[in-house]
Amino acid sequence: LSESGVPQLVQPMIWDYAADLDVEGKVHLIEKYHRCGFSKVWLASAFKGATGVNQSLTLIGHHLKNHLQWLKVASNSPTDVLEGIALTGWQRYDHFSVLCELLPVAIPSLAVCLQALENGGYSEKTKENVEKLLGMSNLETETFMR
């Protein structure tokens, strides 16, 4: 791969939407890409649309856990290799499915995930920031929003 010249032309993106992603495995994958000559690697998460084909409400807790796992990957990876993280929000679970989790119901999840990434984690203070930003009195991350 390193002899092909591809590492000078592209930056790979590692996708994983699992709440319990393999942190150590992802770190090893990043290191492997780096050894092959890729100077930068991207990470990809999802704030909606990645938990089921007929999902209509966003599982905020699932997506928050995914982002917290990606933060662990980032903190255990070489700092000069990671370029960034792409927060995806899928409108369809796959190309042959109906629409799932429309954006309005996913705004709280997006806000939680962005705040977790910006603050390097999630705490009561982070929750309060999201509630204030969204004008909510009680943000629920482990149940569906009412």
User: Which residues lie closer than 8 Å to 134 by C-beta, 6 or more apart?
Assistant: 107, 108, 111
Of residues 137, 117, 106, the one with CA closest to residue 67: 117
Q: What is the pLDDT of residues 52-101, one digit of tens each?
A: 888 888 999 999 999 999 999 999 999 899 999 999 999 887 788 888 88
The whole-number pLDDT of residue 144 equals 64
Q: What angle do CA 9, 12, 39 make, to 5 degrees?
A: 60
> pTM of this prediction?
0.92
Please give the DSSP secondary-structure letter assigned to residue 54.
T
What CA–CA distance (Å, rounded) separates 53 from 96?
10
The whole-number pLDDT of residue 146 equals 47
Q: What percent of the chain has pLDDT over 70?
A: 98
Please give the DSSP secondary-structure letter assigned to residue 2.
G
